């Protein structure tokens, strides 16, 4: 996830591009760069924030250009890896948002044909392809280039010899065109250009657009012209930064189909990239904190079932006090930021004890990635809301990918079953989208329980950590006291607290825990608790046992946490909103990065 902007018109491009990048900075900010053409192609880029670029670059003349704020996925945040990327002749400049899945194969082919690469990014292959395809017409070169790319991209391109022209293309990653008067714009998101125009065309997947100061042309991948009308965007600048959503948390919940897809692509599941990983552990220990711990707990079931590898989960802050034993599990540390102090110190302890270590991290180049022996990245982009949503969902995806690779590497999972699991994973974005389309119903339910003081979340087996995460989300943003319990544990004490005033959210999808969950639902119903059941689509039976049902599409039980968790995120969000809570900045809480000064 990153920000792209393009401009062509009569004004000086530099100021417009810099201002636009600042408005996109919430999308990612580890590096930034600009390319503008006047007589020559001038380019400035560097690691760091837009402010740094602005201060360090000279004034450059030119009426058209492109800019980028990067959120690294391939290659550390550093000058060489910053965008724009240029071709070998320094005539073409390109910025990219997304992940080019087949970049390794393309890079090898391009290098054999003499192209010299100057970055570690996946992006750079695109500019070298453009160089090969360019024969005096930038649009047709872009068209040919994008047909070679697999994965997700929003690209924007200029050529030194094609004055006043900016070409862009989109697949999965967003792009919008701003239609001005005697000037036109390209941006990843509306706020970047809303100051100049409110007339927008949202580019669709598989479309290529060319803007000049007085013209906008859109084509499909076959080169056929597509007629699209602009629409007036009715948004304030502040609202636009949240994409029209009331809170960043809601925006981030709705981004989940895309980041799941990006993470599937990023963890290189396709057989083209091979399955092997560097470890064949007999056992695994996962260490993490908070929401990442819950993801790890779901992961325990995935590793045990997919890779047939016994797995334990431990809170990072507790691991350091545990005694070293003779067993040598692979230690997997999970941390969104890669800077969580408790998890970092647990990894350091593990290394001292001689364990192999692997990290699952969202931020490229963070401390954890330097300390662990190997890293698996989630591709959630920047999370602004303090309550983790999309970073958690992508952790589930990364763990599932890792479990599949480990299963194959250890010879515990056949290739056919691995491929089947991959295909099933690839359908998850579609299913999450269908849950999100049901948000109004979840909102109504959330509002109906938003005035309680306490609630319970129940689940068994792989659904138990989902219940823990559902309760955590509820308490951290709505301040309702909430507890997650394994369905079978209630009768050993907590049942004493269940009354008509304590709603129970029961995860009762059709898996091996279903019958037992119905029993647990009976226990709480008998104490007058109002029960909301989260069940499998079409399960008419469940409706007889609970007061309300929310259904999720049927998927293999290992993947249901991805779907049920989205329901629980929405439930927490809407309950908190009904209570008028400060959702993006819950009291006493901060993102992991801010915590580091305080943890001991």
Judged by the rule CB under 6 A, the positions of this chain that interact with ligand GLU are 1-2, 28, 70-75, 81, 96-99, 121-123
Backbone φ and ψ for 357, nearest 5 degrees, come out as: -130, 145
Nearer Cβ to ligand GLU (381/561): 381
Nearest to ligand GLU by Cβ — which residue?
Answer: 2
Burial class (CB in 10 A: 0-12, 13-18, 19+), 593: middle
Nearer Cβ to ligand GLU (71/551): 71
Minimum CB distance to ligand GLU, residue 81 (Å) = 6
DSSP 255: T
Backbone φ and ψ for 573, nearest 5 degrees, come out as: -60, -50
Minimum CB distance to ligand GLU, residue 117 (Å) = 13
Minimum CB distance to ligand GLU, residue 317 (Å) = 32
Nearer Cβ to ligand GLU (303/377): 377
Tokens coding 122:
């996946």
Instruction: Please name which of 170, 163, 151 lies closest in space to residue 212, comparing C-alpha atoms.
Output: 163
Nearer Cβ to ligand GLU (81/369): 81
Tokens coding 42:
């001038």
Nearer Cβ to ligand GLU (72/179): 72
Minimum CB distance to ligand GLU, residue 362 (Å) = 13
Nearer Cβ to ligand GLU (96/355): 96
Q: How far is CA 126 from CA 70, 95, 194, 347, 486, in A?
A: 16, 9, 29, 37, 50
Nearer Cβ to ligand GLU (97/366): 97
DSSP one-letter string for 447-501: HHTTT-SEEEEEE-TTHHHHHHHHHHHHHHHH--EEEEEEGGGGGGTGGGG-STT
Planar angle of CA 414, 263, 286, nearest 5 degrees = 70
Planar angle of CA 20, 26, 27, nearest 5 degrees = 90
**CA–CA dist 132, 129 (Å, integer):** 5
DSSP 323: P
CB atoms within 10 A of CB 598: 8
Nearer Cβ to ligand GLU (95/498): 95
Minimum CB distance to ligand GLU, residue 63 (Å) = 26
What is the crossing angle of helices 415-426 and 390-409, to 10°? 170
Nearer Cβ to ligand GLU (62/151): 151
Nearer Cβ to ligand GLU (294/379): 379
Minimum CB distance to ligand GLU, residue 122 (Å) = 5
Minimum CB distance to ligand GLU, residue 254 (Å) = 19
Minimum CB distance to ligand GLU, residue 422 (Å) = 21
Nearer Cβ to ligand GLU (81/362): 81
Nearer Cβ to ligand GLU (74/242): 74
Minimum CB distance to ligand GLU, residue 69 (Å) = 8
Nearer Cβ to ligand GLU (94/467): 94
Q: Regarding beta strands 231-232 and 284-288, do their DSSP bridges make them parallel or antiparallel, or are they unpaired?
A: unpaired
Strands, E assignment, 508-562:
531-536, 548-552
Minimum CB distance to ligand GLU, residue 65 (Å) = 18
**CA–CA dist 236, 221 (Å, integer):** 34
Minimum CB distance to ligand GLU, residue 399 (Å) = 22
Backbone φ and ψ for 277, nearest 5 degrees, come out as: -125, 165
Minimum CB distance to ligand GLU, residue 541 (Å) = 45
In three-state secondary structure terms, 204 is coil
DSSP one-letter string for 82-147: SSPEE-TTS-EEEEEEEEETTHHHHHHHHHHTTPPP--S-STHHHHHHHHHH-SS-HHHHHHHHHH
Minimum CB distance to ligand GLU, residue 125 (Å) = 11
**CA–CA dist 421, 19 (Å, integer):** 45
């Amino acid at each position: 996830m990153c920000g792209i902007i393009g401009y062509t018109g009569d004004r000086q491009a530099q100021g417009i591009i810099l201002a636009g990048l600042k408005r996109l900075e919430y999308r990612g900010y580890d590096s930034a760069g600009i390319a503008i053409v006047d007589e020559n192609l001038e380019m400035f880029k560097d690691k760091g924030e837009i402010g740094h670029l602005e201060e360090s670059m000279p004034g450059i003349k030119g009426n058209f250009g492109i800019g980028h704020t990067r959120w690294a996925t391939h290659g550390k945040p550093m000058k060489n890896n910053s965008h724009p990327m240029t071709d070998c002749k320094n005539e073409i400049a390109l910025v990219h948002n997304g992940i080019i899945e087949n970049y390794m194969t393309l890079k090898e082919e391009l290098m054999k044909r003499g192209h010299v690469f100057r970055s570690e990014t996946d992006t750079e292959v695109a500019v070298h392809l453009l160089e090969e395809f360019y024969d005096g017409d930038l649009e047709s070169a872009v068209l040919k280039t994008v047909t070679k790319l697999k994965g997700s991209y929003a690209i924007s391109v200029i050529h030194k010899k094609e004055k006043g022209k900016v070409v862009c293309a989109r697949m999965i990653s967003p792009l919008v065109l701003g239609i001005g008067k005697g000037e036109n714009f390209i941006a990843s998101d509306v706020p970047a250009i809303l100051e100049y125009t409110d007339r927008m065309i949202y580019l669709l997947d598989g479309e290529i657009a060319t803007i000049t100061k007085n013209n906008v042309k859109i084509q499909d991948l076959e080169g056929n012209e597509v007629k699209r009308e602009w629409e007036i965007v009715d948004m304030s600048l502040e609202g636009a930064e949240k994409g029209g959503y009331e809170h960043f948390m809601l925006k981030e919940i709705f981004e989940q189909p895309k980041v799941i897809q990006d993470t599937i692509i990023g963890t290189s599941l396709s057989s083209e990239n091979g399955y092997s990983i560097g470890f064949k552990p007999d056992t695994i220990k996962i260490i993490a904190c908070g929401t990442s711990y819950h993801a790890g707990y779901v992961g325990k079931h995935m590793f045990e079932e997919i890779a047939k590898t016994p797995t334990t989960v431990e809170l990072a802050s507790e691991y350091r006090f545990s005694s070293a034993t003779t067993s040598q599990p692979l230690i997997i540390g999970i941390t969104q930021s890669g800077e969580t102090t408790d998890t970092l110190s647990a990894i350091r302890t593990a290394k001292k004890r001689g364990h192999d270590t692997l990290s699952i991290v969202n931020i490229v180049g963070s401390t954890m990635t330097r300390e662990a022996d190997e890293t698996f990245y989630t591709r959630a982009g920047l999370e602004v809301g303090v309550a983790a949503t999309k970073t958690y969902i992508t952790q589930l995806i990364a763990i599932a990918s890792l479990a599949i690779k480990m299963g194959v590497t250890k010879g515990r999972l056949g290739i056919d079953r691995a491929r089947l699991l991959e295909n099933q994973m690839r359908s998850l974005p579609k299913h999450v989208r269908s849950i999100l389309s049901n948000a109004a119903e979840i909102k109504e339910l959330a509002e109906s329980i938003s005035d309680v003081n306490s609630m319970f979340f129940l689940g068994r087996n792989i659904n138990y950590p989902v219940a823990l995460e559902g309760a955590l989300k509820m308490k951290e943003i709505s301040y309702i006291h909430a507890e997650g319990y394994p369905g079978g544990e209630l009768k050993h004490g907590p049942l004493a607290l269940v009354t008509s005033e304590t709603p129970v959210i029961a995860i009762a999808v059709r898996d091996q825990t279903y019958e037992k969950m119905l029993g647990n639902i009976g226990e709480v119903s008998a104490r007058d608790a109002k029960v909301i059941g989260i069940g499998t689509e079409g399960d008419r039976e469940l409706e007889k046992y609970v007061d309300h049902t929310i259904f999720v599409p049927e998927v293999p039980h290992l993947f249901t946490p991805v779907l049920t968790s989205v329901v629980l995120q929405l439930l927490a969000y809407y309950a908190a909103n009904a209570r008028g809570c400060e959702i993006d900045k819950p009291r006493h809480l901060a993102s992991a990065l801010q915590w580091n000064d305080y943890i001991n």
